[in-house]
Amino acid sequence: MRRAAVLLLAAFVVAVTPSAVLAHPEPGDIDGDGVGDQVDNCAQTKNGEQNDTDRDGLGDVCDTDADDDGVDNAVPRIGGPDNCPLAANSTQADTDGDGWGDVCDIDTDLDGRQDPIDNCPLQANPDQADYDFDRTGDLCDPDDDDDGEFDVADNCPRTYNYDQVDADGDGVGAACDADDRPAPGGLPSPPPPPPDVAAPTVRLSVAKTLRLRELGSSIAVQVRCSESCSVRAQLTASKRKLASGTAALGGSGTTYVFLRKLRRLTPATATLKLTATDAAGNASRLTRRLKLRR
């Protein structure tokens, strides 16, 4: 009877002892995670997904520094000293002090906006105000009105005034000062520039004789303009429109107008008409005679 009791107690100890779990491991898979020991990157810890963030051959669940940033994340990784155990951040920066490092914190400044869509990801600004619509929030934008003058020195920080004119010298720019009269001895505001009434200077370059068999899908006309301008060109023959095209220049320089959709070209004498118009509406017009040959 006593012997039977001892045997029963031994059987109970085997049943509850943790080592007994490994008493009959799966052949070739000691942790029973479905990955064979020879290729398992954590052979004694279950990790069927085999994640290895730092690609050092040791799985994340058994790697003391899973992101290889020099900060020990301990095993298991959650609860260790590394505030981003699976994202390298050796500085452990944590702007909002929530225990998650900035590199893995989806809302670094805790303003309710996730970092990828937060226009000031490191400064709390739940209203996402962006005066100049440059996708940088006002709270962290050094130039809110985008006039090239930083807010700390801008006499109209919320009104575009790149020239910073201040006629009465009161420190508030004329662009945002309702009463900007020159103070005694002060300098008056500069007069407005005269209206632009001059047409742009335009030159065009194109072969005077065009061989039909050599033409592709368009005719290229080189255009040089003395200022910003939009260009329109049209090719006609016998009052029939053959092709047209447009182009634009953001400043003085050279561009090309491509006359596309060529329509049944045959040998003829054609007329090229080109019009270049500047921002003020002043236009220059040029005409060239072109010979279309086989």
Domain locations along the chain: 202-293
Q: Which contiguous run of DSSP H or E holds residue 240?
A: strand 240-249
Alpha-carbon gap, residue 261 to 35, rounded angstroms = 64
Q: Is the pLDDT of residue 261 over 80?
A: no
Q: Is the pLDDT of residue 19 over 80?
A: no
Phi, psi of 116 (to 5 degrees): -60, -25
Looking at the chain, the whole-number percentage of residues with pLDDT higher than 90 is: 26
Mean pLDDT for the stretch of residues 169-179 = 86
Mapped onto helix, strand or coil, the DSSP state of residue 253 is strand
Lowest mean pLDDT: which of 76-80, 229-233, 234-238? 76-80
Phi, psi of 194 (to 5 degrees): -65, 155
Give me the sign of the Cα torsion angle 147, 151, 157, 158: positive
Q: Is the pLDDT of residue 9 over 80?
A: no
Task: Answer yes or no: pTM beyond 0.75.
Answer: no
Q: Is the pLDDT of residue 185 over 70?
A: no
CATH of domain 202-293: 2.60.40.2550
Query: Tell me, what's the pLDDT at 119?
Result: 87
Q: What is the DSSP letter of 84?
A: S
